[in-house]
């Protein structure tokens, strides 16, 4: 009997997942096994699973500042400053509509 799980995720998502698992002191395989075992035993997930937003807009995925190194945070802040300097901005109302459309918030 094969106990393997095969899934298709982007290389970036997999790299992010491995990094997140390492921060928890686990391998990606250990974290997935724990999750699968918990769901099998409880028939529940400890969180709400939402559909992945449509990334067809071409915008980069949101950044979680807590997970960035100081250098990565500085680079992200610089991107924002560069966008402002280049006039790449949207109104608060446009932002709210986009957040609701893409993330349901």
Q: pLDDT-based confidence at 50, cuts 50/70/90?
A: low
Give 89-101 as a 3 state SS string.
Answer: CCCHHHHHHHHHH
Model confidence over 60-73: pLDDT tens digits?
A: 666 777 778 899 88
pLDDT exceeds 80 at position 7: no
pLDDT in tens, 71-102: 988 998 998 899 999 998 889 999 888 888 77
pLDDT category at 10 given cuts 50, 70, 90 is confident
Q: Give the pLDDT score at 86.
A: 93
CA distances from 27 to 9, 12, 17, 18, 33 (A): 17, 16, 9, 7, 10
């Amino acid at each position: 009997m094969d106990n393997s799980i095969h899934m298709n995720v982007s290389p970036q998502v997999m790299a992010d997942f491995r990094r997140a698992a390492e921060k928890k002191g686990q391998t990606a395989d250990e974290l997935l096994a724990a999750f699968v075992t918990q769901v099998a035993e409880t028939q529940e997930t400890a969180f709400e699973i939402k559909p992945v937003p449509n990334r067809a807009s071409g915008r980069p995925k949101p950044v979680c500042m807590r997970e960035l190194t100081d250098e990565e945070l500085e680079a992200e802040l610089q991107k924002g400053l560069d966008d402002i300097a280049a006039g790449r901005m949207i109104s608060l109302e446009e932002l709210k509509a986009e957040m609701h459309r893409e993330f349901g918030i």
